[in-house]
Structure 1
Amino acid sequence: MIWLKKRGIASVAESVLNFEELDKTVACLVVAARNDGYAQVYAKCSHHVVSALKVDWDTSRSATHGVNTDAALAARKTEFNNLQLPVMDLINVALQSDDHVAQLKEIFPNGGEDEDEDLA
């Protein structure tokens, strides 16, 4: 169990955080959230201008005109929530094993000999 505390947790975190698909999915989610936030604020601001000045405000040249940023953001959130990390499947199987430490060491073989001495 000491191996899991010392090296295993760091290895799990490293494997999850370095997963390329996670990076791509989070980047897309951030962009979609930014676009949606911009669109919502622009729409609100346009509404205030129309109300305050009693004029028609042409939003047809807006970058968000006709774009459903809310749907794009919802799709990116769903993509993020459904993201599968292969390493997590391996970890779940290993943790159900009788000798989960040995299984985890096979998944994350970077542990040193000094850590094996701590197990004794």
Structure 2
Amino acid sequence: MKEKAVAEVVAREAKEAEARAAKALEEANADRNHLNKVAEDLKVEVQNRVTIIEEVTARAAEAEVWAREAAEAMDSLISSLDKLKETASGCVIMIVGTILDASDNTAAVNELSERAREAGFKVGYARCSSHMNPLYQSKFTDERSGFQGVDTEARLAAAVEAYNNLSISAIEDIDKCLEAEDYVDRLQLLYGDPEEEKEEEIAGSGKGDAGTSGIKEDQVGLRALLFDFLFNVNSRKTYVNFLCTA
């Protein structure tokens, strides 16, 4: 009886141990499945992070390329702007020089200078005579000045008035071109067709310079300078905008 009781106890303990082992195995399997799931989730998360890093790296590289291209473009624009300012300033100087050297302007300035010299000489001669007359018994007059009876002040005033009302054909051409709204129309008003002008020049040379008889020297000079400047640059529209709207 005792042996049977012992055997039953051993059998019961064995079953309990087996049950505990089965439960432990089940829990271990559950933990393993959970760990596997966590590992898969971590793999997915890592892959997502890797993808994000690769995308960010690609965008950073692209941004660097854009930044480099933008810097190069800015340097190019600054260089072009400096050249534009330099060339435009040179063009303005040439235009001003051409206008100042125009035959009409030169003649008016010469006339004004001559009349001012005459008026100054007569006034100076009269002042000198007024200083010398108290020292001598004989009286000095303006008889030998060369301007006795000549109203030099009136002649000077007339020269000043003529200079103020001076009309230069080159300036009139520029004013006329400014009336057009379109840049191309402005150019067409200021310049003729080079081929047509060349043909007219050739035809005029065969007729005793008849082809240029109606164009003044200052007008030809201004057109030649502006034509050479405007039509030999790539950014023609920018230069024309500067000249015709400044």
* TM-score normalized with structure 2 length: 0.41
1:56 partner SS: coil
When residues 38 and 86 of structure 1 are mapped into structure 2, their CA distance, relative to the original with a 3 A threshold, is same
How far apart in 2 are the matches of 1:8 and 1:61? 50
CA drift at 1:6: 5.3
Partner of 1:23: 106
Correspondence 1:115 to 2:198? no
Structure 1 stretches lacking a partner, 5+ long: none
Does structure 1 conserve the Cα–Cα contact (< 8 Å) formed by 2:125 and 2:142?
Answer: no
1:63 positional shift: 1.2
SS in structure 1 of the partner of residue 227 of structure 2: coil
Q: How many residues align?
A: 119
TM-score (norm 1): 0.77
Distance 1:38 1:112, change over 3 A: same
96-105 vs 37-46, greater mean Cα deviation: 96-105
Structure 2 unaligned segments of length 5 or more: list them: 1-83, 192-222, 239-246
How many Å apart are 1:11 and its aligned residue? 4.6
Using CA pairs below 8 Å that are at least 6 residues apart, which structure has the higher relative contact order? Answer: 1
* Cα distance, 1:10–1:56 mapped onto 2, change above 3 Å: closer
Considering only aligned residues, what root-mean-square deviation do their CA atoms show, in Å? 2.9
Quote how far apart the aligned CAs of 1:9 are.
Answer: 2.1
- Map of 1:46-61 to 2, 5 A cutoff? 46-53=129-136, 55-61=138-144
8 Å CA contact retained: 2:112, 2:159: yes
Larger Rg: 2
Matched residue type, 1:110: D
Residue 74 of structure 1: how far off its partner (Å)? 0.9
Change (3 A) 1:103 1:7: farther
Which range moved further: 75-84 or 46-55?
A: 46-55
Partner residue, 1:99: 182
Q: Distance in 2 between matches of 1:11 and 1:94?
A: 18
CA deviations 1:55-89 (Å, max 9, x no partner) are 42243222122211111111111111111011212
Q: Equivalents in 2 of 1:54, 1:43: separation in Å? A: 17
Say yes or no: does 1:40 pair with 2:158.
no
Return the letter of the residue paired with 2:177. A
Which residue is equivalent to 2:214?
A: none
**Residues 74-105 of structure 1: CA distance to partner in whole angstroms, max 9, x if unpaired?**
11111111110112122112223223476247
The answer as to whether partners of 2:230 and 2:236 remain within 8 angstroms in 1 is no
Cα shift readout 1:23-57 (whole Å, capped 9, x = no counterpart): 11111111111111010010011112123446422
Q: Identity over aligned residues, as a percent?
A: 24
Rounded to whole Å, the distance in 2 between the matches of 1:63 and 1:19 is: 32
Letter in 1 for 2:111: C
